[in-house]
Amino acid sequence: MPPRPPRLPPINHKLAALAAFGVASLALFGAIQVFGDPSAAGPKRVIELAPGDAAAETAPRIDFSDAIGGESMSVYDLSELPPYESEVGEIGVDGELRVAVVETPEAAAARAPGRPLVRAPIAGLTERGPNGPLPIIGVDGRTPAQAYARPFTRDPNRPMIAIVIGGLGFNARATQQAIDELPPEVTLSFVPYVADLQTWVDRARARGHEVLLELPMEPFDPEADDTGPQALLSTLSAQQNITRLELLLSRSSGYFGVTNYQGARFAASAQASQPITQALQRRGLAFISSGIGQRTALSTEAARANLPNTAADRIIDARRDAEAIDEQLLNLEALALQNQSAIGAGFAYPVTMEQVSRWARDIEQRGYQLAPASAVLNARQRR
Q: How far is CA 267 from CA 10, 76, 201, 245, 293, in A?
A: 105, 40, 27, 15, 9
323 membership: H or E segment, kind and range: helix 322-339
Residue among 243, 276, 240 at smallest CA distance from 258 = 276
326/334 Cα distance (integer angstroms): 13
Nearest to 80 by CA among 213, 252, 199: 199
Least Cα distance to 145 among 243, 14, 257 occurs for 257
Domain contains 122? no
Burial of 288 from C-beta contacts in 10 A (0-12 / 13-18 / 19+): buried
What pLDDT score was predicted for residue 103? 44
Question: Which residue, among 289, 124, 191, has the nearest Cα to 201 in the 3D structure?
Answer: 191
Residue 31 lies in a domain: no
pLDDT of residue 10: 55
Distance, CA of 157 to chain centre: 29
Give the model confidence (pLDDT) of 293-325 as tens digits. Answer: 889 999 999 999 999 999 999 999 999 999 999
In a domain, 150, yes or no: yes
The pLDDT assigned to 97 comes to 62
Q: What is the CATH number of the domain that holds 371?
A: 3.20.20.370
Residue type, 48: E
134 beta partners: 127
Give the whole-angstrom CA distance, residue 237 versus residue 4. 117
Is 119 among the domain residues? no
Containing domain of residue 378, as a range? 134-382
3-state secondary structure of 375: helix
228 forms beta bridges with none
Tens of pLDDT, residue by residue over 107-151, are 443 344 579 999 999 999 999 999 999 999 999 999 999 999 999
Spans of the chain, pLDDT less than 50 = 8, 11, 14-18, 21, 23, 26-88, 102-112
Q: What is the pLDDT of residue 47?
A: 36
Residues 253, 205 contacting (CB under 8 angstroms): no
How many independent structural domains does the chain possess? 1
- Is there a domain that residue 48 lies in? no
Q: Is residue 29 part of a domain?
A: no
pLDDT of residue 7: 52
Per-residue pLDDT, 44 = 34
Are the C-beta atoms of 191 and 366 separated by less than 8 Å?
Answer: no
pTM: 0.72
* In-domain check, residue 85: no
CA distance 123 to 64: 18
